[in-house]
Structure 1
């Protein structure tokens, strides 16, 4: 549905950007579910800094170029995707929508992008695959002390057609998630976090890209909220960005259709950003688009 009704029965304003979904998701979810999705570890400083860091970067517009056709397609690990915007791993999607990860999987398949399924998905991996059998899937693994368990889990997802493993290497302990402790949130299994990396992901991107020197693809996960953010990440060397919280906002608002809208909005914004900077394809995005004098 393009419009939803508010509590008084009248039509609500359409959701036209990611933060619109954020505001409505907060209204729709219980406090404990919202705090789990939106909260960070400790004071949430790294989460907030990731978003703020993008705002400091300025793009350089380019004019008098033929941008009548703009192609957002790219590849990751040799697989074509419709845009460099994919779904990062996060657990317990059923907190946002009854079908949980099955809805997320269907939306990613419809959008033509990769969905990284979390070890702590609230739906079975088999159900997630069955919901979107033609989708591109990677699996995020928290390595457990029991090596036999790790082996069984890897074999299980490999047999289901997952194309790659995303290994979490930065979460040796569970972060101090104060909101979840206050809410006494109990998800019936051990929980570890993926977002415990260096502060300001976008600031670290240039160093990471330089260190790998083209030998491997570099992806960015953290702080992306607009199409401009996507372009900035790619200009600084990322091959693709991955979305976390915004996916759950869309899921909380409209289920599968909400996730589709989130991905479509960001893709359209990214296409506009490419057009205004004179980029007709992903290959034309480079560091020259960044106004480094403003950093």
Structure 2
């Protein structure tokens, strides 16, 4: 059963913050699907650390700046965006609403933010391109290199503006909530970019069909040499997602990528990895302006976006909150969440004395011990 199929429509006007959308969506989503969405790996230490780090960070506002107007517009990778936000690659979005990725792509297009099409999308990229927004396409490294090339050519033909290469999944993290439930995709939800290549839905007790699928298709031997091969086989700018180590960030920059995403996969890979926010300042310091730095994992509000940019990021990728909106009302629900995020960021910028995203990067930040945060 899809969320919303047996419950009355939600009054979106009653939801006044992105954070509130989580609680509303939980009651409209099957328990196994909800666990799949909100859970992390292992004991979920890193999942919790993402929020702890963001909550602990303070931003020092500026006053008497003389600003009466603000603009949230910015450039992300090689394109324009109406705010420093892109929709993160999220697998199997039809789990949350029958319209799935189409609803999200349409809402992102209206909001003027890039939409990253997941390799594990349950809707073909060509249908999403017809929505008219800015599309990026996500790749994991596949054992079948000919299929990789086919997907790259399809992304180029569909008008995708960047390739986002997720590099943090040599194996899927042990997501215990899914394992306990033996989480299996419903019959009408599949990774359409794999054609008929699907993992069996008949899994042993304690297994996960998604873990089985990724183990079958993904190549754990992915290396820097493979990234160089990919760069030589596409005209699209590359975004490397899943960087936490400063040396890896430098090596990605040396490989000529357009951007990196500082990410611990939303706490779903190595449990015990640092929060994205904690490593962001060092990564920003290690790179010059030729490489944009984006961040995901734990972003839940406009204030969180402000904090990420104050630490030096150029933008954020928004993941789970998009699915909250999708579960609440399809395209309208996603549009509402993105509108709330825009309004929250605009208000935070006003209160911090910032007129545009670049000025946010000049703010000072403080840790709980009142030590200068980030690069300040």
TM-score by length of 1: 0.91
Bigger shift: 183-192 or 20-29? 183-192
The alpha carbon displacement at 1:8 in A equals 9.7
1:173 aligns with 2:171: yes
Distance (Å, rounded) in 1 between the aligned partners of 2:33 and 2:9: 25
User: For residue 80 of structure 1, what is the aligned residue in structure 2?
Assistant: 80
Say if 1:151 and 1:255 are closer, same or farther in 2 by CA, change over 3 A: same
- Residue matched to 1:115: 115
Q: Deviations over 1:144-185 (max 9, x none)?
A: 121111111111111111111110111000111111122222
In the alignment, the residues of structure 2 paired with residue 139 and residue 182 of structure 1 have an alpha-carbon distance, to the nearest angstrom, of 31
CA apart distance, 1:283: 2.3
Separation in 1 of the partners of 2:313 and 2:9? 44
Correspondence for 1:136: 134
- 2:284 aligned with 1:209: yes
For residues 108-161 of structure 1, the C-alpha deviation after alignment (integer angstroms, 9 at most, x for no partner) is 00000000010001112222222x1x2000011011121111111111111111
Structure 1 unaligned spans of 5+? none
Displacement of 1:96 in angstroms is 0.4
Counterpart-to-counterpart distance in 1, 2:10 and 2:101: 31
CA–CA separation in structure 1 for the residues paired with 2:45 and 2:143: 30
Where has structure 1 moved over 6 Å in runs of 4 or more?
6-13
Q: 1:268 aligns to what?
A: 343
Q: For residues 114 and 179 of structure 1, do their structure 2 counterparts lie closer, same or farther at Cα, with a shift above 3 Å needed?
A: same
Q: What is the 5 A alignment of 1:82-231? A: 82-130=82-130, 132=131, 134-187=132-185, 188-189=198-199, 190-191=213-214, 194-195=265-266, 196=269, 198-231=273-306
Contact 1:277 1:289 in 2 (8 A): no
CA 1:143 to 1:276, structure 2 compared with 1: closer, same or farther past 3 Å?
A: same
Is the partner of 2:14 in helix, strand or coil? coil
Match of 1:294 in 2: 370
Change (3 A) 1:184 1:290: same
Say which SS state the counterpart of residue 232 (structure 1) adopts: helix
Q: CA deviation at 1:12?
A: 8.9
RMSD: 2.3
Distance 2:160 2:11 in 1: 41
Deviations 1:38-76 (A, max 9, x none): 111112221111111011111112222222101111001
Q: Once structures 1 and 2 are overlaid, which stretch shifts more, 279-288 or 23-32?
A: 279-288
CA contact 2:10–2:329 (8 Å) conserved in 1: no
- For the residues of structure 2 that align with 1:139 and 1:126, how far apart are their CA atoms? 11
Give, in angstroms, the shift of residue 7 of structure 1: 7.2
SS at match of 2:50: helix
Query: Between Structure 1 and Structure 2, how many residues are aligned?
Result: 289
Moved more, 196-205 or 84-93: 196-205
Rate the CA distance shift 1:114–1:9 in 2: closer, same or farther, 3 A: closer
Q: Kindly provide the CA deviation profile for residues 81-118 of structure 1, in whole angstroms up to 9, marking residues without a partner as x.
A: 00001100010110100010000000000000000010
